[in-house]
Amino acid sequence: MMTMQNLLVELFTEELPPKALKKLGEAFAAALAESLIAQGLAEAHATVVNFASPRRLGAHIENVRARAADKPVSTKLMPVSVGLDATGQPTPALLKRLAALGADASAVSGLRREGEGKNEALFHDSVAPGATLAEGLQKALEAAMAKLPIPKVMSYQLADGWTTVNFVRPVHGLVALHGADVVPVSVLGLDAGRATQGHRFEAKQLTITLRDADSYAAQLRDEGAVIASFADRRAEIVRQLQAAAAPLGLVPVDDDALLDEVTALVEKPNVLVGQFEAGFLDVPQECLILTMKANQKYFPLLDAAGKLTNKFLIVSNIAPADATAVIGGNERVVRPRLADAKFFFDQDRKKTLESRVPGLAKVVYHNKLGTQGERVERVRAIARWVAEKVDADVDLADRAAQLAKADLLTEMVGEFPELQGIMGGYYARHDGEDERVAQAIADQYLVRRNETEDVSNLISEVLQIADRMETLVGIWGIGLKPTGDKDPFALRRHALSVIKSFQLLGGVSGLQGTELRLDLDELIAFSLSVFPQGLLAENVAEEMKLFIYERNANQLAPVFGLEAVAAVFANMPPLHEVVKRIRAVREFAQLPESPSLAAANKRVGNILKKAEGEVGGEADPARFVEDAERALFAALREIAPQATVAFEAGDYTASLQKLAALKTPVDAFFDKVMVNADDPALKANRLALLNQLHQTMNRVADLSRLAA
């Protein structure tokens, strides 16, 4: 047997849960490799390939040793004074310790001494034999199976009829090959071998005898009609979907989650084209697409305009010479699903959204926050307040908020909760509501990230802000804050949505001529006021503002860099100005004067923090003694007004770049002037001058954050 060969491990199982398969395959291979590397049986950067199909989990690991290298082991025994008596003979304590290590008195002469005086100790040096692959793989297998992210463990009996074991699904076979040799390991009552099984219906032969570790994928493909690699099978499905859609001039729905799930359902994909009656297309396409994807795992086909057609793609697990029966069967199965969607749609339209609103009073939103009906009234109040601030139609904003949650009581949303809002938009149009109201209802759950997005409907923005703020302050106020990676009420996402609305309405890419008169502090305060007094915790306003700014900073730091973002957020400017200010700071940071000014600003800040008593706001030129003081004061009198004009015009780049001219007088000031002079009046005047400098430099951002 060669000492280093490739290793193949496979668990052959009953059908694994499709939504978990991808993670199970990745975790199984990674945990096996991690354990083998830790035991010295595989290289730290070994190439690992994972396999995952509906009936198997596997891993191929390159260059695995038959036996790990021996390792020198040094064990500290005890102080010399304890281990040896006055004549140098071993004490009973030392002999007992050596015996525990498998050594006897003959080892005493070989013990090593380290240290001096009372700290001198005895050490026993030995060599630990490296683990064999059989030992190491057994340990790795058990560790990997214990670590698997199993959604729900299944208990089942082994062939003896008595022993019960637990795993995600019953396991019927174990393969472990090191090169061409079987590694003698066992799990779940199964001994490793070289035999596996192929596709239930398409395999050339039922049992496949694997030649060696490297032939696994090829033999399964050629003899077993199975594409064992999840990634390869997924890529093949994508290729076939595109090949089937292209001749029709259509495009399959793009859905990564559906693609992963279908990849986990088939071992040999075969894409077929099906169709349904065109009359079903009268139902909103979101309903039809969702029922085909969620219930049947089909890929609906869209035309060039993104409109649903009556054709869809089936990913079959069999490839008969005549696929007519397979296609016909799938077409028969999808028809009742589409008929249900049509029935729900027709029934729902018999009642108006407005008529459903009273029913929300019977739907619990949260046991501490009341019903959906009470929630709607809170959202309405916030929406009217926001609409007034941004010159939106108050009546339309109120109407949108009033009807926004009514579709929760419809048959369609009851069947497909994912269609909340979307169906409300359709039903509002059917009821003859204003288009802006209908669009706002449809848009209310959108998660937006596009910086260039335009505000086409101000009512949508108003409803989004009102809905998000009611959720944020309410849920936060009853103590259900996000912790770690847990955020069950999606408060982080709601905060990002509020930030996006502020950016859009603030003119980043919003309505022409919209002048934002929405203040975050006022918005939080009003949102809190719509809840019953005493219901929410104290300090919610302060915590909420900090939370929103932190979310924005975390969102922007990877894009613009931590220093520029920290500099701007230190001042907590209006949300719609944040990105503009960050860009200005980044441009300022490129100026040659920037490092020196940032360092000086940091120094000024530290001096002012340590100053005792209140620092004056303006220096008295009559008290200046040094020329450097006068020069800095003169420079500030010239530059500060120019920077202020640019700042107030919103030209933050120009405002910051005016500060470059301060470098020379600032450097000279710190070279020539002692701020902490003995004369208290002189010291106070110099501190006032630095205070003027500090305020001038930090209007756009805290430039000290740019200092190295």
Q: What is the pLDDT of residue 518?
A: 81
CA atoms within 13 A on the CB side of 493: 11
The domain that holds 370 is classified in CATH as 1.10.3210
Q: 707: pLDDT confidence band, cut at 50, 70 and 90?
A: confident
Burial class (CB in 10 A: 0-12, 13-18, 19+), 257: exposed
Q: Which residues pair with 275 in a beta bridge?
A: 311
Q: β-strand 121-128 against 164-167: which pairing, if any?
A: unpaired
Is position 605 within any domain? yes
Residue 513 has pLDDT above 60, yes or no: no
pLDDT, mean of residues 643-651: 92
Tell which residue, 650, 388, 389, has the closest CA to residue 507.
650
pLDDT for position 605: 87
**pLDDT recorded at residue 512:** 44
Residues 6+ apart with CB under 8 A from 376: 357, 360, 401, 402, 404, 405
Q: What is the pLDDT of residues 320-338, one digit of tens each?
A: 999 999 999 999 999 999 9
Does residue 570 sit within a domain? no
Same domain, 388 and 512: yes
Smallest Cα–Cα separation from 638: which of 612, 614, 659, 617?
659
Question: Which of the given ranges, 372-386, 571-585, 671-685, has the highest pLDDT on average?
Answer: 372-386
Would you place residue 126 in the very low, low, confident or very high pLDDT band (cuts 50, 70, 90)?
confident
- Domain boundary residue among 84, 99, 128? 128
Residues 11, 30 within the same domain: yes
Q: Which of 560, 592, 626 represents a domain boundary (last residue)? A: 560
pLDDT-derived band at 161, boundaries 50, 70, 90:
confident
Helical ranges in 10-128 per DSSP H = 18-38, 80-83, 92-100
- Please indicate, yes or no, whether residues 520 and 650 belong to a single structural domain of this protein: no
- Closest to 224 in 3D by CA, of 239, 210, 236: 210
Check which CATH number belongs to the domain holding 661 and give it: 1.10.730.10
Residue 566 lies in a domain: no
Name which residue leads in pLDDT, 684 or 21.
Answer: 21
**pLDDT tens-digit map of 247-262:** 999 999 999 999 999 9
Do 399 and 480 have their domain in common?
Answer: yes
> Residues 4-15: what's their mean pLDDT?
96
Mean pLDDT for the stretch of residues 363-375 = 96
pLDDT over 70, % of the chain:
97
Q: Please check whether residue 516 lies inside any domain of the structure.
A: yes
Q: How far apart are CA 494 and CA 475, in angstroms?
A: 11
Considering the domain architecture, whether residues 536 and 587 belong to the same structural domain is answered as no
Mean pLDDT of 186-199: 96
Nearest to 408 by CA among 433, 393, 427, 430: 427
Query: Mean pLDDT throughout 191-198?
Result: 97
- Assess whether 663 and 591 both reside in one domain: yes
Please classify residue 483 by burial: count the beta carbons closer than 10 Å to its beta carbon, then call 0-12 exposed, 13-18 middle and 19+ buried: exposed
Identify whether residues 364 and 276 lie together within a single domain.
no
Same domain (yes/no): 105, 236: no
**pLDDT at residue 401 above 50?**
yes
> How far apart (Å, rounded) are the C-alpha atoms in residues 694 and 602?
9
Question: Is pLDDT above 70 for 199?
Answer: yes
| 462 & 495 share domain | yes
pLDDT at position 508 is 36
- Using the 3D structure, point to which of 128, 156, 171 is the last residue of a domain: 128
Residues 460-481: what's their mean pLDDT?
A: 95
| 398 has a pLDDT exceeding 80 | yes
CA angle 79, 72, 89 (to 5 degrees): 30
Task: Assess whether 287 and 384 both reside in one domain.
Answer: no
Task: Kindly report which listed range (34-48, 167-181, 333-347, 493-507) carries the lowest average pLDDT score.
Answer: 493-507
Q: What are 617-623's contacts with CB under 8 Å, separation 24+? A: 617/688, 617/691, 617/692, 618/688, 618/692, 619/685, 619/686, 619/688, 619/689, 619/692, 620/685, 620/688, 623/681, 623/682, 623/685
Mean pLDDT of 387-394: 92
* Residue 604 tokens, joined: 């000024």
Range of the domain at 187: 4-68+132-222
pLDDT band at 547; cut points 50, 70, 90:
very high
* Lowest-pLDDT range of 16-25, 352-361, 572-581: 572-581
pLDDT value for 453: 54
pLDDT digits (tens, 9 = 90+) for 277-287: 999 999 999 99
* Domain annotation covers residue 680: yes
- Stated pTM of the model: 0.80
The answer to whether residue 2 scores a pLDDT higher than 70 is no
Give the per-residue pLDDT at 201.
93
Task: Say if 567 falls within a structural domain.
Answer: no
pLDDT value at 449 more than 80: no
Q: Which residue, 33, 35, 57, is CA-closest to 45?
A: 33
* 571 assigned to some structural domain: no
Cα angle: 656, vertex 659, 660; to 5 degrees: 110
Q: Domain tally for the chain?
A: 5
CATH at 168:
3.30.70
